[in-house]
Structure 1
């Protein structure tokens, strides 16, 4: 594979700078209050250049979420390769996701909205960037192969249901809050969900 050219390296460096500036602004000023113009100005690029890298402001969040998903997948693959039980791996991944989401409460609603965006193209882009269901599917597959999961639902369907439930619970917690932390809320939710997919 050829090494990236100087121009490609410069483009990647600029994209990385825009991304980090945008995330910092979202955390400091709030996602809704931050405009594409704010991000461009703080990144020392034109507004048009910002849109060359990110077609809409929410696309920055997809990069943010994709990085979290990549870390979760790596964690799951490592733990499974080490011989940890799939259920304990799922709990660890679930806790890690709740921890990361809980630290950036203000970024959950706009990120969740992208997954449910009325625009089919944007919703599909978000779904592909945030493959939580595929991480869950990876973890549950050994349980299915061992005959531990119910057989009337496909592995993909069960994984999608668990991932979708995470999104809704995180969104509700972010918007309204509860007496429990997001990690506690999610542990309760996962226990309930697993009761529904494990074969009796």
Structure 2
């Protein structure tokens, strides 16, 4: 049946991406060959390239799955009434942890996402489509938090949360690529500064004053002190 074939293809694609990531995590992207990945995933090299055009796209596919799991948790918490600040804390803690633990892979992910082209500029389903899809997955991780902030009256009603989310994603990736962070706390502090800077124009002024309210995405928690439990 067609559905069974699709399920088999998806399972094989997931297996390849996971096997590739495990190898990349140990020795880095450049040290792993296509034959290494094919052997670890129990597929032929022909099948390997049928599902992924390059090692970078295997890495992106696995990264997307991880981001998707964090997004599902963030949505669950938002729907149960958690404060957007607390959910932002969860999201940034997990992403910062990934950035620090797999710092040797950040360059490949960051360059692919930041160098993405608009849909339609590459072959359908090809490398450009994968890069764009990864970027949109990251945007979809951030946007629900911003939408919840807008619903609570913390952002202007006309604030474009999709656009703001894309700006934050790019800013955070640039931070990981060029920030020289030594640990998760330094990443979180850097991201907090970028968040505050980018969000100022979207804040809803206080009624009757026109003044912008203070915005602390970490709530009452000092940045970096409460994230270890989220690893």
Q: TM-score, normalised by structure 1?
A: 0.81
How many corresponding residue pairs?
196
1:183 aligns with 2:188: yes
Point out the structure with the larger helix share. Answer: 1
Deviation at 1:150, TM superposition (A): 3.7
User: Which residue of structure 1 aligns with residue 227 of structure 2?
Assistant: none
The verdict on how the C-alpha distance between 1:142 and 1:27 changes in structure 2, with shifts beyond 3 A counting, is closer
**Structure 1 segments unaligned to the other structure (5+ residues):** none
Q: State the Cα distance separating 1:161 from its structure 2 match.
A: 1.1
1:127 maps onto 2:125 in alignment: no
**Is this contact kept in 1: 2:29–2:55, CA < 8 A?**
no
Normalised TM-score (structure 2): 0.72
Q: Which residue of 2 aligns with 1:137?
A: 143
Structure 2 matches for 1:1-200, cutoff 5 A? 4-5=3-4, 10-117=8-115, 120-121=121-122, 122-130=127-135, 131-150=137-156, 153-173=159-179, 176-178=180-182, 181-199=186-204, 200=212
Q: In the alignment, is the contact (CA less than 8 A) between 1:36 and 1:47 conserved in 2?
A: yes
The question of whether the paired residues in 2 share the 8 Å contact of 1:54 and 1:60 is answered with yes
Distance in 1, matches of 2:163 and 2:116, equals 22
1:95, 1:186 within 8 Å by CA — same for their partners in 2? no
What are structure 2's unaligned runs of at least 5 residues? 205-211, 213-231
Residues 165 and 43 of structure 1: CA distance in aligned 2, closer, same or farther (over 3 Å) = same
Which structure 1 residue ranges, 4+ long, deviate > 6 Å from structure 2?
none
CA RMSD of aligned residues (A): 2.7
